[in-house]
Every structure is written in structure tokens, then in C-alpha cells.
Structure 1
Amino acid sequence: MGDEYVVRLNTDERHRDAYRHEAAVVNLLAGSEVPHARHLAHGEGPDGPWYVSERLPGRTLYEAWPAADSSTRQAITESLGAALRALHRIPVPAGLLPPWLADALAGKKPWAAFHPPVVSAALQQVEAARRVPGHDSQLLADVTDWIQERLVSFADDEPVLVHGDLHGSNVIVDQGHVTGLIDFAEALAQPADVELDTILRWCAKAREFPPVPDKQGLDEATLIEVPGWLHDAYPELFEREHLRERLDFYDMYGEVTLYAHHPQADIREAAQDRITRLLSGHNHLDELIW
């Protein structure tokens, strides 16, 4: 990171062509009202894929949040709402998916498909779970019925450009406003409220969103007012009928995918427990108010 430029190197082989995808998405934003870092160049080198962008003024929301007072936090959240509204108005290519996510849905390293959610692939993940030795067949039958009952809620959706991974480390802020959304490697065409899946999960479980693995995420208590502020700033994002059921659906998609595909048994077992809780009508959203 320099005064004017940021150079990133991708050493994660799971995310094939992530920078090529990000460059294509960021170029869609040129000339729009979406605050973002201009893409300057990307390519492949001996150490892996690289990406160069301009450096935005400010620092990450994660870094700025603890010292910010309540009025500054509200101003940041309102600015984030404006940025999201602008993002969701960008014309998006039909079926836009990150290449690594398309690969995961096609069966290549499939556990990576757990996030962001892809509505049309939900039943596909249940069928994958049925092929796992020792799966709970009654649980999956209940999940199938649960998903089929809720799919009607998505029938009339118009896909928009969704960031897909919006939390404190992917928002740059300066003097109480958002100067840019960064890291569009997970951007895709999905219903706009898919954006809430990550944002509200971050608010409820912020400690699980550290900027790097050896650090801790923010204290959830400091984010308790964010959903309400975001609702006031971008009410259309919250106006879908049966919003809670839709958000639960996105959560179920991720948990079933982990249950079906994750290589670690303990993570599969934890996903099974969360699926059971979702079927009973409970998850991390219970404590949030907007």
C-alpha cells in the first residue's frame, strides 16, 4: 500500500480468476455514484494473480468504528446506505457470478459455494447433501419442504448488482462518510436483499469477521443500531414482503451447503445444528432490531 496505489496479491487458489472478475465488476461502476477504488491494472505473475487500484482516502470502517462517536457512526451508516442504493442501480449482466463460485456450483471445490447465496441453487445443495454418507434423511426432507414453501417469495425478483461480502473490512470511510466499497471478488447478480445477509450477520456476529485471521472482529454491542440506521437510509432494501423469511432462506442456503460439502466433520456438524435451529424459526437474526 502506497500513498496513491494499492497492490494486492492473491495466494488463495480457491478463488480462481477473482481479480479478473473484480476488475470487470469495478469497470461497471465507472462514472456512477458508487464510491469505489478505480481499477488500474491486473494480471498474472510468478507469485500469482495481482491487482492494482487507486488508494482511497481514509481507512476501513473496522479501524475507524471503535473511536467514532454515535453521530459519526450514524453518518457512516447513512453514507453506506446511499452507496448501496447506487450500487443496486448499476445495470448488471444476467447471471453474473464470480468464476470460483460458478465452479463451486458445478462441483469443483463445492463447499466454497456456501457464500454468497444463490437462490436458484438452494435445492441443488439439498440434493448434494443427500449423497453424503450418514446424512440425516428426515432433516433434509424437512429442509426441502421448507425451501420449496419459500421459493415463491423470490419468483418476481429482479436481480441487481450485489457486493456479496459487505462488512467492516470492505468499506473505506473518512470524516464520517464512505469513500469507497472495496473487494468486489464476490459480486454477483442476485436480489438486492442478499446484501443484508452479510451485513446483518456481521452486526450479529461481528467477532467472526476479523480483518485478518489473527485479530478479533468488532464488539457486536457497538453495531446494535446499525440495522436501524441503515433501514432509515435505504428503506427500500428492507421493504420486501416476508423479509425475515427471505433472510432465513439465505442463511439456510449457506448452512445446507456447508453440511453437504465442507471437508471438516465438526463444521458439518455445526451446520446441521444451525439447520435444525432455522427449521424451528431461530438464528442469529433473533437479536437484531431495525
Structure 2
Amino acid sequence: MTDPALRRTLNAAGLPTTGHFLPKAGWVSRVWVGDEYVVRLTNGQFRDAYRHEAAVVDLLAGSEVPHAQHVAHGNGPDGPWYVSERLPGQTLYDAWPTADPHTRRAMIESLGTALSALHRIPVPPDLLPPWLTDALAGKPWPAYHPPVVSATLHLVEAAQRLPGHDSRLLADVTDWIQERLALFATDHPVLVHGDLHGSNVIVDQGRVTGIIDFAEALAQPADAELDTILRWCARSREYPPTPDEQGLDETTLTELPGWLRGVYPELFEREQLRERLNFYDMYSELALHAHHPQPEVREAAQGRIARLLSGHNHLDGLVW
């Protein structure tokens, strides 16, 4: 073991500094995968993300939700760190390309069972990651998901403060949102993972051994989870495990929504589901348009907002 940051983190967690650990890259974390433990280290951009994740994983204790047990977390000279148990298997992203259709279906059906169990976990109705609470209060946005229905109009206000904003477009967006808020008036919030795609699911021999990375988990309607899953199916190339890799080929995921619906039909049974999913999409695009630091990304999001106002988005080509 040669990495001093890994050694310091294991010491802080009270774990042996011996053994083999494989370093892996991530979007915001350094990761080491050992025989028994997985160690993550981040730069602190997401305030209290690991403390939040530890609290959410504690909610899962004794449940039927497959997950990696929390071992320890804290802050050190190298930044915030989190240690969890090592789960058997590999990510769904890694397993998918070589899996045969039968195994792919089995993995998705297992995921549906896991999600159904997750959405039955009792959850505080105001559960939000601290970094997302900060973002909604006007501080920098480190990520642009998951959707928070009650904050959608605030995103319009943020977009209206952009230099050179399209006031007519945003006025139309405001009307569009206000016409649809009633769709969520009687919702019962559940525990939603918030960033569910192939890199955050561990599988082994055709079954899910764990859903991982609960740093974005929050209390929202269950179909907010479906929004992320269908977005991943439609635009999976945008969901690589690291910025330097490529996401999965969308054409290999066409049957995923149907398999998921077969085992977890309640997730698809909300009245006016398409309009609700469109609303979540509007939230995501507004967050990008209002807060992303790159002008070209903000402009692309504005184009997708205009397309959504005309009734079209990434859901058009999906069978679900």
C-alpha cells in the first residue's frame, strides 16, 4: 500500500493498513476497492455528503434493500472520507455489455425488487442532502439532480437573473410549471436514491447485491426515481462512470423499462405519469440552464427547455 492518503484514511477509520486496494477514478471522489472495504475520499465540494450518506444507510439497516454497510466516515487532512463494506460483484455498467438477455432481465428485475423495498423505507419528509439545501438557498450548485418539486419556480427566478436571459421563454416556463404543480399536491414522499444508473448498482450472478452512493438521497415522490432511470435509458452515453469513459449504448437498454415495470408496476401507475416525468425533466434542465458554469451547457439546456414546452423530450423514443 503506497498511497499515503489511503493509509491515513484507513488509520482514521481504525482499520488495518495492510492488504491490496485497487484505485479507481470517479466523478468527484478518489476510490480504492479492497478485498473487504471500499474507501472513498473527496475534496469536500459536496458539503456533508458522506455524513448524509451514512445517515441514509442507517435508515436501511434491517431492511430488504441490498446495500453496502457503512463502516466509518469522517474528515481528515485529505478531505472527507467514507468507508463501506465491499460487495460481491461489479457495477451494472461493467456487467451489462457482456451479459446475455436473460441475465440482463434478471438484473433489472432484481433492481425493481430492490427499489420497491427502498421506497417503503420510512423517511423524514424534509430529507435533503446538505449540499442540495445549500444550492437551493442560493449557494453554488455542485450537481444538477435530483429533482425537488417545490424548488422548481425558484430555478426560474435564478434563470431570470442571468445576463441576456430569454424573458419570453421563462415567462412561458413559469406558466407551464404553475399549470402542473397540482399534479404533486397529494404526493407522499418516499426515500429516493436520486442518482440511480448503472454505476450506482452492484450486481453478481444476475442479481443486485447492492445499491450504492446515497449522497443524493432525499424524500420525493417515488416516480422521481423513474425520471432518472428513464433519462439514463434514453441518454446513457451521458452517464459514464468517469468523465474520461463512455456511457452505455442506448440501444442495449430499450427493454429495461418494460422489465422494470413487470416487477415494480406501482412505479409506473401514477395518474398523468408522462406529465409528471416532463415536470421532473423541466426541473433538471432549469437547474442546468440557471446554474451550470459553462455557457454552452446552459445554452443547450435552454434549447431542451424550449423543446419540452412544445411537448417533446428524451421520453419520446422510449417504450415504457
Partner of 2:49: 18
How far the C-alpha of 1:257 sits from its partner, in A, is: 1.8
Q: Which has the larger radius of gyration?
A: 2
- 1:147 alignment counterpart: 177
Instruction: Please give the TM-score of this superposition, normalised by the length of structure 1.
Output: 0.98
Shift of 1:263: 2.0
> Corresponding residue for 1:99?
130
Identity %, equivalent residues: 78
Cα distance between partner residues in 2 of 1:10 and 1:113: 14
Question: In the alignment, what sits opposite 1:256?
Answer: 286
Residue matched to 1:74: 105
Whichever residue aligns with residue 9 of structure 1, its letter is L
Cα distance in 1 between the residues matched to 2:308 and 2:34? 45
Give the secondary structure class of the aligned counterpart of 1:183.
coil
Partner of 2:64: 33
Q: Cα 1:85–1:127, aligned 2, differ >3 Å: closer, same or farther? A: same
Residue 43 of structure 1 aligns to a residue whose secondary structure is: strand
How many residue pairs get aligned? The number is: 288
3-state SS of paired residue (1:165): coil
**Does 1:133 find its partner at 2:136?**
no
Which residue is equivalent to 1:205? 235
**How far apart are 1:114 and its partner, in Å?**
2.7
Report the AA paired with residue 234 of structure 1. Answer: Y
Corresponding residue for residue 19 of structure 2: none
Distance 1:241 1:189 in 2: 20
Partner of 2:24: none
User: 1:34, 1:86 within 8 Å by CA — same for their partners in 2?
Assistant: yes
Write the distance in 2 (CA, Å) between the matches of 1:52 and 1:114: 25
| Residue in 2 that maps onto 1:62 | 93
**Paired residue for 2:9?**
none
**For 2:168, what is the secondary structure of its paired residue?**
helix
TM-score (norm 2): 0.89
Higher relative contact order structure (alpha carbons within 8 Å, sequence separation ≥ 6): 1
**Displaced runs of 4+ in structure 1, greater than 6 A?**
none
* TM-aligned CA distance change 1:84 to 1:171, over 3 Å: same
Report if aligned partners of 1:105, 1:113 keep a CA contact under 8 Å in 2. no
Question: 1:183-223 CA deviation, whole Å, 9 max, x = no partner?
Answer: 00000000000001111111011111111111111111111
Extract unaligned runs of 5+ from structure 2: 1-32
Equivalent residue of 1:66, what SS?
Answer: helix
Q: Distance in 1 between matches of 2:253 and 2:131?
A: 31
5+ unaligned residues in a row in structure 1: which ranges?
none
Alpha-carbon RMSD across the aligned residues, in angstroms, is 0.9
